[in-house]
Structure 1
Amino acid sequence: MVAQAKTVVITGAGSGIGAACAALLAADGVQLVLIGRRAAPLQQLAAQYGALALDGDAADSTRWPGWLAQIRQRCGAIDGLLCCAGGLGMGSALQTDDAAWHAAMRANLDTAFVAARACLPDLIASRGAMVLLASIASLAAGPEVCGYTTAKHALIGLTRSLARDYGPHGVRVNAVCPGWVKTPMADEEMQPLMQQYGDSLDQAYARVTADVPLRRAAAPEEIASICRFLLSEQASIITGAAIVADGGSSIVDVPTLAFNALS
């Protein structure tokens, strides 16, 4: 599948799903612009894929005029945007101080909004596409992840608002909602289970997916393939959608889980 977009900007590109998206799109011959807070992994990926690496916080609106100038000089106009930056926001409301709350909003929501606003003029001109990396935390609440859950829910609202306003200009905007994905961030989230139960990393993933119909976490490449599809011509009629990619976890009727032991 060849992606429709010719130049794609990826935020949160240094690892995990963002890096997997970079690999798939590079294989399609797409010109890549990789944005992230850590320079070293960006530079490594940029060297591998012939991409433009821009290190910094995608939520910092003061960085975008300079970045856009570099992008247009190197790659031309922007045809696609993948907002993969995210994280933070752990803790219940009483455990979340103002600084932690604002950090969660900045990492998950502001990065997407500021990037979208900066890239929209180019996307309107190219009739391009945008994908926001949301989560099943956009659809339901886990325990003690108040900031993350709230920000990810807001990403769905941002997706729909952008799709509604800029669809008449030919811009498509969709969200992808993964469940557990084997990434460095998720590996860290397995640590409490590993400590509590003496699990290996694989056993911890098996524990958190025990009630997921497919009984496993996703690979980053599986989520990246959905993002690539949503940027492609094959998805030309899809906009404003929240594509759930969670192995079926969101279809499980939680009150019936007690009956599993009977089957």
Structure 2
Amino acid sequence: MANLQGRFAGKVALVTGGGTGIGEACARLLAHEGAHVVMLGRRRERVEEVARACGGMALACDASDAAAMRDAVAAVLARHGRLDVLVANAGGFGQGACADTPDADWRQAFDANLNTAFVSARACLPALKESRGNIVFVASIAALAAGPDVCGYTTFKHALIGLARSVARDYGPAGVRANVVCPGWVRTPMADAEMAPLMAAHGIGRDAAYDLVCADVPLRRPASPAEIAGVCAFLASPDAAIVTGAVLAADGGSTIVDVPTLAFSRLETA
């Protein structure tokens, strides 16, 4: 892939959940801008496919597994000798309201959405201190507000902001930055699957379902994975050298909407 900007020339970046969606887009963009990229994910075939496209390294493991993450970081250092960026993107799971969430589902949501980020950050921090590198935590607007019947996902995405701020506070004196990106709707395989109930209920296609969920979003559309990757790359780059502990909503304006006034907006279009 051509290196057009080179903001990450000579840098080494590790992307968790790097096989699909936002993680894949981050890996491709960072490689495009000169980074040596390491894709980490549970599905070996997917991360190896992305690694081939990026000219990078693939590691198949669960980011919430402490021993596996220690081994992964050791493998990165053995090959590249340094680590400059962690994109903590792995996530998912957490459906159901509080009273309907079994213990096993709660633990799964914790592992997927918070423990992956904690374990990967802890494993990477010694190397990031050496390089004065940084972490980009990929959360969600579920870290800022609550959707229906997603108790586990909402809880642990909220906690992800606390983790990022703690890392930023504790490791800032060592030159390590930590920031959070909170995407809204993004056209990923996971979001495509979430359109299914709307498609069935309204007898509509996937594009119309996205139109429906974005009807009150100021930009009136979902993001592409590449757009979210651009935000992540900015925060990881020298362009954001003074930015740490920040929470950046990349949501088309979703979180600026004053919900109690939506009825007035609908009057204008009636």
Range into which the TM-score falls when normalised by the shorter chain:
over 0.9
Q: For 1:1-263, what aligned pairs fall within 5 Å after superposition?
A: 1-4=5-8, 6-263=11-268
Judge conservation of contact 1:2–1:232 (CA < 8 Å) in 2.
no
Q: Helix, strand or coil for the counterpart of 1:155?
A: helix
Q: Helix, strand or coil for the counterpart of 1:63?
A: helix
Identity in percent: 57
Judge conservation of contact 1:176–1:243 (CA < 8 Å) in 2.
yes
Q: Helix, strand or coil for the counterpart of 2:96?
A: coil
Matched AA of 2:6: V
CA separation in 1, counterparts of 2:165 and 2:52?
A: 35
CA separation in 1, counterparts of 2:80 and 2:242?
A: 26
Question: Displacement, 1:52?
Answer: 1.0
Matched AA of 2:134: A
Question: Displacement, 1:46?
Answer: 1.1
Runs of 4+ in 1 over 4 A off after TM superposition: none
Question: Displacement, 1:48?
Answer: 1.5
Structure 2: gaps (5+ residues): none
Q: Helix, strand or coil for the counterpart of 1:173?
A: strand
Give aligned pairs, total. Answer: 263
CA separation in 2, counterparts of 1:233 and 1:158?
A: 22
Matched AA of 2:198: L
**Backbone CA RMSD of aligned residues:** 0.9
Matched AA of 1:53: A
Matched AA of 1:49: C
CA separation in 2, counterparts of 1:32 and 1:115?
A: 15
CA separation in 1, counterparts of 2:72 and 2:51?
A: 15
CA separation in 2, counterparts of 1:223 and 1:171?
A: 22
Matched AA of 1:125: E
Question: Displacement, 1:262?
Answer: 2.0
